[in-house]
């Protein structure tokens, strides 16, 4: 009997130890699950709220760039569009000067842990802050190849206060000298890729889709071919559209050797055109438009023709978005 009792006691002890080991193992497994699943959930939530604050900051900056209050309605709407569980917790706009500034959007979203509460870790929120700046572009993308002399009377009137939308202006495209200097044999079609020649196929592609590369102020070439009705279908496809074109202040040489000095960019809305008849009578009818376009930000000393670009200048700024002020 004593042997059997001893064996039974030992078995009971072993069962107790096994239960304890299973319990410890379960706690370890729950902890591992909390780390694997809940940290993954935290990372996913953080990623979504960063995307939401990025989108909201860019949208708000685009509004502020053209004189609207992007914090009032746009920012919160874009947070919700990009993460339906997130909410905007703050939005502030700061002007750097009359043509540039930045907006900081803060957002947060709840994180619902699956396993962490078992080990005493409560659900929480995760947040993000994004600052986006606006200003005069240092380079523009999506340009159409129509050069515009800055001394054109209608454009000069616009450039004096480039806000809103102008009345319809007629921009001549002839091979005669302009107020910016003469380029006989050249019609003001700009060689946006600056390769030394512009094919008719290039011109058509750029009219419809815009030049995909970046163009900076400086000297570029021109197209000696006549501004003609060969591009009428392409012009028709973008009638009523708004897009940027380069502005030049000087022309050198003539024909295929002509060079145009780009000093900035302006957005236009294409209203009409004439590409036939006497060359001196060919033109585009346009409205000048204050708006945001694609490009690289920013050029604090750039010419203000009403075109702005926006960019993300800082994510999760600490004491302040220092990279947004220059």
pLDDT digits (tens, 9 = 90+) for 18-35: 555 555 556 656 566 566
Angle (CA) 307 272 236, round 5°: 95
**What pLDDT digit, counting tens, does each position of 273-326 carry?**
999 888 778 899 999 999 999 999 999 899 999 999 999 998 886 656 667 876
Please list the rounded mean pLDDT of every run of 10 residues in the chain (326 residues).
Answer: 49 50 56 63 84 96 95 93 93 93 94 60 78 95 93 94 96 74 72 81 92 94 76 96 94 81 96 89 94 93 96 77 72
Which pLDDT score, from 0 to 100, does residue 121 have? 56
pTM for the model = 0.82
Q: Residue 319: which residues within 8 A CB-CB, separation 6 or more?
A: none
**Residue burial 29-44, b: 16+ Cβ < 10 Å; e: rest:** eeeeebeeebeebeee
For position 248, what pLDDT does the model report? Answer: 92
**pLDDT of the residue at 43:** 79
How many Å apart are CA 317 and CA 55, to the nearest integer? 16
φ/ψ of residue 223, rounded to 5: -110, 120
Taking residue 320's Cβ as centre, other Cβ atoms within 10 Å add up to 12
Q: Give the per-residue pLDDT at 118.
A: 53
Give the pair of three-digit tokens for residue 86: 């997130």
CA 129, 131, 132: angle at the middle one, nearest 5? 140
Count Cα neighbours of 300 within 13 Å in the Cβ-side half-sphere: 7
């Amino acid at each position: 009997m004593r042997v059997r009792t001893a064996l039974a006691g030992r078995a009971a002890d072993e069962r107790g130890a096994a239960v304890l080991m299973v319990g410890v193992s379960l706690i370890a497994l729950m902890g591992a699950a909390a780390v694997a699943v809940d940290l993954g959930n935290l990372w996913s939530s953080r990623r979504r709220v960063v995307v939401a604050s990025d989108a909201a900051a860019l949208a708000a900056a685009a509004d502020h760039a053209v004189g609207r209050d992007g914090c009032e309605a746009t920012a919160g709407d874009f947070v919700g569009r990009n993460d339906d569980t997130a909410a905007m917790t703050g939005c502030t706009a700061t002007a750097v000067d009359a043509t540039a500034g930045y907006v900081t959007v803060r957002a947060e979203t709840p994180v619902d842990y699956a396993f962490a509460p078992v080990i005493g870790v409560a659900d929480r929120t995760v947040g993000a802050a994004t600052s986006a700046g606006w200003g005069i572009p240092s380079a523009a993308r999506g340009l159409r190849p129509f050069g515009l002399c800055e001394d054109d009377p209608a454009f000069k009137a616009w450039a004096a206060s480039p806000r809103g939308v102008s009345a319809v202006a007629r921009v001549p495209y002839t091979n005669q000298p302009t107020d910016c200097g003469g380029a006989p044999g050249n019609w003001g079609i700009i060689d946006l890729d600056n390769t030394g020649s512009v094919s008719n196929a290039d011109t058509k592609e750029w009219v419809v889709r815009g030049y995909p590369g970046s163009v900076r102020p400086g000297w570029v070439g021109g197209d000696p071919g006549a501004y003609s009705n060969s591009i009428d279908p392409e012009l028709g496809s973008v009638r009523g559209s708004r897009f940027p074109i380069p502005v030049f202040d000087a022309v050198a040489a003539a024909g295929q050797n002509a060079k145009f000095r780009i000093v900035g960019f302006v957005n236009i809305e294409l209203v009409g055109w004439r590409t036939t008849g006497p060359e001196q009578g060919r033109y585009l009818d346009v409205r000048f438009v204050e708006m945001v376009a694609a490009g690289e930000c920013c050029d604090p000393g750039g010419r203000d023709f009403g075109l702005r670009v926006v960019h993300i200048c800082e994510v999760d700024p600490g004491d302040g978005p220092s990279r947004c002020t220059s």
